[in-house]
C-alpha cells in the first residue's frame, strides 16, 4: 500500500510538471509499479490486479537432518548450491538403475536379455582380444616350466573366458565337489559336463565342510607348493600388468566400469587361488544344485550408460578420474623447468584443467561442513572457501605480473572477473533453461526469490563499476598516434589506439583524494551488504523453512576430514594457479586472439564447471529456482567478496591492481543484468528464453574475440 501511494504521488507530480495527458497516467503508474515490484522481488499481475499467492514457508523433505541442512543452505543467500549428497544413502532406497551400478560381480542373476549388445562387441575389440592373448601366452609359459602345468590349464580356460565373458561365470570349487573329482575324474560329477536341466546357481556365502574320508589323501597347502612360487614369479606378474592396464583404461572411459571391476576382481581373488579350486562355467544358466561351489565372477554387460552417476566416497567418478591431472601438472610444471618434455601451452592446459576436480572437492567440503554445523560456521566456511578457487588464480596472476612488470596480467584478471559475471548471469541460467526446458515444457520459479537476487545483482554491479563510471566522466581520451590522411595539416586525421588514460588518473595527485577513497568506500560497503544478507537469511528469517527429516545419517566426510581436504585442495589449487599464470604468456601472445577473450572464457568459466553441472542437474529435476540461483550466487560472491578482497590485498601489498574496467566490460555487464532481469519477470522459463540468454552470451564473446588487446599488451 505504501509503495502504491508513493508511486501514485510520483506519477502525479510528473504529470503536473510535464503536462502529460491524463490517458497516460494509468500506463505510467503501471510501468512504475511493475518496475518496483521486480526490484522488490514481488510478483504482481498487472492485467487482472491479482497478487500471486506465495506460501509463508518452504517445505523441505530430506532423508536426514544433515541433508535437510544442506538443502536449506542451497536456498539461503550466499551459499553455493550443491547437488550431490553429503551422506550415504541407504542402498535399499535407491532405484534399480543405481543398484545395478553398485552391484557386485559375484552374484549370478537370471538374465533374459540379449548378450550380444553394442557394448559387449566393443569390449572384444577394446579389451577382450589382447587380454585373452596374454592369458594364452602365459599359459604356454607355465607349460614350459612343467611344474606350473596346472596354472597353464587355468590360463587357457581364462583365455577363452576373457575373450567373451558375458553369460559365463567363474566359481570356487568346494570340498565335496573336489573330492568327487579327485576320486573319479571321468565321472558324471565333472563340472564341465553338468546337465542342462538344473536350476540357476546362486552364490553361497559360506561353504559347508564335508567330513573327510579316511582314505582321502591330504592336499599340500597352497603356500607349501613349489608351483605356487613359479606362478607368482613367472605367470602372475605379466598378468598384473595386463589387468592393471585394462582396469585403468576401462575406468577412464567410465561407461565401461564393469570391465574394470571384472579385471580387478580377477587380479585380487581368482589368480591367487589354487588352480584346482577355480572352475569356469560356460553358461551361467546351468544347474549346479548338486555341487558345492561359490560364485566369484559373472558379468553380463561390459558397458552401462548410467555410470555418469557413479560416485566414489561421495565424489562423482569424473572428478575422481580428473584428479591425477593435478599430480601430472605439478610434476611436469616444477620438474621440467626448461620445457624439454612439454611446451608451455601443454602445461597451461593441464594446470587449468586440474582446477576442475579441485573445485569439485572444495565444493563437497564446503557442503559437508555447512550441513553439519550451525549458521555461523557454515557462513564463515562458505565465504572463506567459496571463492578460493578464483582468488588463488587472481592473486597469483597479480603477483607474477607485478614481479615481471607485466601490466597485461592485471587486464587478464579484470577480464576473468567480468567473464565470470557474464557467464553466471547469462550462460549458466541459459543452459539450465535449455536443458530443463527440453525435458519439461515450461518450468516455474519463485519470482520473489529471483527479484531479490536481481536487486543484489544491481547493487553489486553498480558498486563494482561505480569507480569506472566516475573515471569515464572525468578521464582523458589519449591516442598513441594521429596521422593526416591527406598528407597535409588541412586534411582529416586518423587516430590509432585511442583509450581513456585510466592509469594516469589513478596516479595523478588530483584524483588520489577522490577516486581511491571511492574505491575503498565501495569495497567496504559491498561486504557489509553481503554480511547483512547472510544474517537475514541464516538467522533472523530462518523460520521460513519447514523441515521434515527422516532418521539415520552416515556422512561421507566428517567435519574434520572436510576441513583437511579443503586445506589440501586449497594448497594444490595455489600451486596449479601458479603454474597456469607462469605458462599463460604464450597463450596471451597469440596474434589473432584478444587477451580479453582468454580471460572471459578459459580463466573465467573453467573453475565454474562444477557449478554448471549442479545447475543442470537441478534443472533436470524440475528445480529451476535453484538452477537460476547457482549463477546469481556466484555473481554476488564475485562482486561482494572477491573484488573487495583483491582491493584489500592491493592496499596492503601494492601489485598495481586498479579497479577500473574498460568500456566493453562495463556495458557488457550492465546490459547482461538488465536482460536477465527482463527474462525473470514472469516467473516462468522455457528453452526459448534460455536460448536467448546463451545467444547473447556468445555475441558478447564474439565482441571480446575481435576486440583489440589492452593498451600496452
Which tens digits make up the pLDDT trace of 348-404?
A: 999 999 999 999 999 999 999 988 887 778 888 888 888 888 898 899 989 988 888
Say yes or no: 641 and 666 in one domain.
yes
Say yes or no: 272 and 391 in one domain.
no
Say yes or no: 149 and 239 in one domain.
yes
Cell of residue 515, nine digits = 577516486
- pLDDT at residue number 482: 67
Count other Cβ atoms within 10 Å, centred on residue 119. Answer: 17
Spatial contact of 176 and 294, defined as CB atoms under 8 Å apart: no
- pLDDT at residue number 427: 94
Q: What pLDDT digit, counting tens, does each position of 178-221 carry?
A: 555 555 554 444 444 433 333 333 444 434 444 444 445 567 88
| Buried b or exposed e, range 591-608, using 16+ CB within 10 angstroms | eebbbbbbbbbbbbbbbb
- pLDDT at residue number 192: 44
Domain presence at residue 68: no
- pLDDT at residue number 220: 82
Check pLDDT > 90 for residue 142: yes
Q: Which domain holds residue 615?
A: 310-478+502-706
Last residue of a domain, one of 306, 334, 366: 306
Q: What pLDDT digit, counting tens, does each position of 395-435 carry?
A: 998 998 888 887 788 888 999 999 999 999 999 999 999 99
**pTM (2 decimals)?**
0.77
Spatial contact of 33 and 44, defined as CB atoms under 8 Å apart: yes
- pLDDT at residue number 584: 86
Domain presence at residue 27: no
Q: Average model confidence (pLDDT) for the chain?
A: 78
- pLDDT at residue number 477: 58
Say yes or no: 249 and 284 in one domain.
yes
Q: What pLDDT digit, counting tens, does each position of 506-539 carry?
A: 445 445 556 778 888 888 998 888 888 777 766 6
Number of structural domains found in the chain = 2
DSSP conformational letter for 95: -
**Percent of the chain at pLDDT above 90?**
30
Phi-psi region of 84 (alpha: psi -120 to 50; beta: other; left: phi over 0): beta
CA–CA separation, 602 and 687 (whole Å): 25
DSSP conformational letter for 164: S
Of 84-93, 383-392, 450-459, 474-483, the least confident:
474-483
Domain presence at residue 196: no
Say yes or no: 354 and 295 in one domain.
no
Using DSSP, state whether 298 is helix, strand or coil. Answer: strand
Confidence of residue 685 (pLDDT cuts 50, 70, 90): confident
> Mean pLDDT, to the nearest integer, of 462-488?
72
- pLDDT at residue number 627: 87
Say yes or no: 513 and 626 in one domain.
yes
CA–CA separation, 150 and 30 (whole Å): 90
- pLDDT at residue number 55: 46
Say yes or no: 321 and 297 in one domain.
no
Confidence of residue 29 (pLDDT cuts 50, 70, 90): very low
- pLDDT at residue number 199: 36
- pLDDT at residue number 274: 92
Q: What pLDDT digit, counting tens, does each position of 99-130 carry?
A: 888 888 887 777 667 888 999 999 999 999 99
Q: What pLDDT digit, counting tens, does each position of 612-642 carry?
A: 988 998 898 888 888 888 888 888 889 888 9
Domain presence at residue 484: no
Strands of 545-597, DSSP E:
545-549
Say yes or no: 271 and 396 in one domain.
no
Strands of 405-457, DSSP E:
443-444
- pLDDT at residue number 713: 67
Domain presence at residue 202: no
| Buried b or exposed e, range 422-441, using 16+ CB within 10 angstroms | bbbbbbbbbbbbbbbbeebe
Say yes or no: 320 and 279 in one domain.
no
Using DSSP, state whether 20 is helix, strand or coil. Answer: coil
Confidence of residue 568 (pLDDT cuts 50, 70, 90): very high
Last residue of a domain, one of 306, 327, 356: 306
- pLDDT at residue number 500: 57
Q: What pLDDT digit, counting tens, does each position of 39-91 carry?
A: 333 333 333 332 233 445 566 677 778 888 888 888 777 788 888 888 888 77
Domain presence at residue 660: yes
Confidence of residue 284 (pLDDT cuts 50, 70, 90): very low
CATH number at residue 366: 1.20.1420.30
CA–CA separation, 590 and 601 (whole Å): 15
Q: Which residue has the higher pLDDT, 606 or 55?
A: 606
Count other Cβ atoms within 10 Å, centred on residue 240. Answer: 12
Residue 634, Cβ density class (10 Å: 0-12 exposed, 13-18 middle, ≥19 buried): buried
- pLDDT at residue number 302: 92
In degrees, rounded to 5, the angle at the alpha carbon of residue 79 between the alpha carbons of residues 618 and 381 is: 135
Say yes or no: 239 and 380 in one domain.
no
The single residue listed with the C-alpha cell 566426510 is 557
Domain presence at residue 518: yes
Say yes or no: 408 and 459 in one domain.
yes
Say yes or no: 300 and 351 in one domain.
no
Last residue of a domain, one of 306, 338, 354: 306
- pLDDT at residue number 608: 87
Domain presence at residue 331: yes
Helix axes 25-40, 2-18, angle to 10 degrees: 140
- pLDDT at residue number 598: 86
Amino acid at each position: 500500500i505504501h509503495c502504491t501511494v508513493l508511486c501514485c504521488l510520483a506519477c502525479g507530480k510528473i504529470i503536473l510538471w510535464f503536462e502529460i495527458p491524463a490517458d497516460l497516467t494509468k500506463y505510467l503508474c503501471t510501468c512504475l509499479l511493475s518496475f518496483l515490484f521486480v526490484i522488490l522481488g514481488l510478483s504482481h499481475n498487472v492485467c487482472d490486479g491479482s497478487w500471486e499467492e506465495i506460501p509463508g514457508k518452504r517445505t523441505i523433505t530430506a532423508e536426514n537432518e544433515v541433508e535437510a541442512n544442506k538443502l536449506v543452505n542451497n536456498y539461503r543467500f550466499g551459499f553455493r548450491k550443491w547437488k550431490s549428497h553429503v551422506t550415504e544413502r541407504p542402498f535399499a532406497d535407491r532405484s534399480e538403475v543405481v543398484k545395478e551400478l553398485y552391484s557386485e560381480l559375484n552374484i549370478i542373476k537370471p538374465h533374459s536379455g540379449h548378450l550380444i549388445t553394442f557394448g559387449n562387441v566393443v569390449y572384444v575389440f577394446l579389451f577382450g582380444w589382447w587380454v585373452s592373448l596374454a592369458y594364452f601366452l602365459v599359459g604356454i609359459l607355465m607349460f614350459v616350466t612343467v611344474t606350473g602345468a596346472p596354472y597353464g590349464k587355468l590360463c587357457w580356460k581364462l583365455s577363452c573366458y576373457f575373450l567373451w565373458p558375458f553369460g559365463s561365470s567363474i566359481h570356487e570349487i568346494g570340498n565335496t565337489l573336489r573330492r568327487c573329482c579327485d576320486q573319479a575324474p571321468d565321472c558324471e560329477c565333472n563340472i564341465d559336463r553338468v546337465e542342462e536341466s538344473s536350476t540357476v546357481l546362486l552364490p553361497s556365502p559360506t561353504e559347508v565342510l564335508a567330513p573327510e574320508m579316511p582314505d582321502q589323501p591330504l592336499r599340500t597347502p597352497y603356500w607349501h607348493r613349489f608351483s605356487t612360487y613359479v606362478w607368482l614369479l613367472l605367470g602372475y606378474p605379466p598378468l598384473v600388468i595386463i589387468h592393471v592396464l585394462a582396469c585403468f583404461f576401462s575406468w577412464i572411459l567410465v561407461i565401461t566400469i564393469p570391465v574394470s571391476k571384472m579385471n580387478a576382481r580377477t587380479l585380487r581373488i581368482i589368480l591367487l587361488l589354487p588352480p584346482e579350486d577355480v572352475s569356469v562355467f560356460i553358461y551361467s544358466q546351468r544347474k549346479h544344485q548338486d555341487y558345492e561351489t561359490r560364485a566369484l565372477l559373472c558379468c553380463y554387460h561390459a558397458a552401462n550408460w548410467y555410470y555418469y552417476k557413479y560416485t566414489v566416497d561421495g565424489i562423482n567418478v569424473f572428478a575422481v578420474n580428473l584428479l591425477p591431472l593435478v599430480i601430472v601438472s605439478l610434476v611436469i610444471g616444477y620438474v621440467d623447468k626448461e620445457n624439454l618434455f612439454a611446451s608451455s601451452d601443454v602445461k597451461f592446459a593441464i594446470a587449468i584443467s586440474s582446477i576442475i576436480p579441485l573445485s569439485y572437492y572444495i565444493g563437497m567440503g564446503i557442503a559437508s561442513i555447512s550441513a553439519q554445523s550451525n549458521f555461523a560456521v557454515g557462513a564463515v566456511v562458505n565465504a572463506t572457501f567459496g571463492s578460493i578457487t578464483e582468488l588463488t588464480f587472481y592473486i597469483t596472476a597479480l603477483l607474477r605480473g607485478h614481479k615481471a612488470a607485466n601490466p597485461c596480467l592485471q587486464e587478464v584478471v579484470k577480464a576473468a572477473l567480468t567473464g565470470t559475471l557474464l557467464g553466471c548471469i547469462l550462460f549458466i541460467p541459459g543452459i539450465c533453461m535449455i536443458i530443463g526446458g527440453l525435458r519439461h515444457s515450461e518450468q516455474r520459479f519463485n519470482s520473489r526469490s529471483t527479484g531479490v537476487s536481481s536487486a543484489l545483482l544491481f547493487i553489486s554491479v553498480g558498486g563494482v563499476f561505480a569507480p569506472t563510471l566516475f573515471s569515464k566522466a572525468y578521464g582523458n581520451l589519449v591516442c598513441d598516434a594521429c596521422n593526416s590522411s591527406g598528407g597535409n595539416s588541412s586534411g582529416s586525421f586518423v587516430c590509432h589506439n585511442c583509450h581513456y588514460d585510466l592509469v594516469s588518473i589513478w596516479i595523478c595527485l588530483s584524483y588520489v583524494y577522490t577516486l581511491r577513497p571511492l574505491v575503498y568506500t565501495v569495497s567496504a560497503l559491498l561486504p557489509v551488504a553481503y554480511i547483512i544478507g547472510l544474517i537475514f537469511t541464516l538467522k533472523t528469517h530462518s523460520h521460513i523453512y519447514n523441515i521434515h527429516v527422516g532418521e539415520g545419517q552416515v556422512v561421507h566426510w566428517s567435519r574434520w576430514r572436510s576441513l583437511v581436504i579443503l586445506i589440501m585442495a586449497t594448497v594444490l589449487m595455489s600451486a596449479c594457479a601458479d603454474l597456469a599464470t607462469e605458462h599463460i604468456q604464450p597463450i596471451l601472445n597469440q596474434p589473432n586472439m584478444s587477451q580479453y577473450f582468454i580471460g572471459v572464457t578459459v580463466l573465467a568459466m573453467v573453475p565454474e564447471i562444477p557449478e554448471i553441472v549442479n545447475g543442470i542437474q537441478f534443472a533436470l529435476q524440475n528445480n529451476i529456482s535453484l538452477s537460476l540461483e547457482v549463477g546469481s550466487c556466484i555473481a554476488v560472491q564475485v562482486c561482494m567478496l572477491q573484488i573487495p578482497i583483491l582491493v584489500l590485498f592491493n592496499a596492503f601489498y601494492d601489485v598495481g591492481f586498479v579497479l577500473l574496467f574498460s568500456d566493453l566490460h562495463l556495458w557488457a555487464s550492465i546490459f547482461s543484468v538488465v536482460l536477465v532481469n527482463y527474462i525473470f519477470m514472469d516467473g516462468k522459463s522455457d528453452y526459448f528464453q534460455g536460448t536467448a540468454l546463451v545467444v547473447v552470451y556468445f555475441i558478447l564473446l564474439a565482441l571480446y574475440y575481435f576486440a583489440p588487446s589492452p593498451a600496452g599488451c
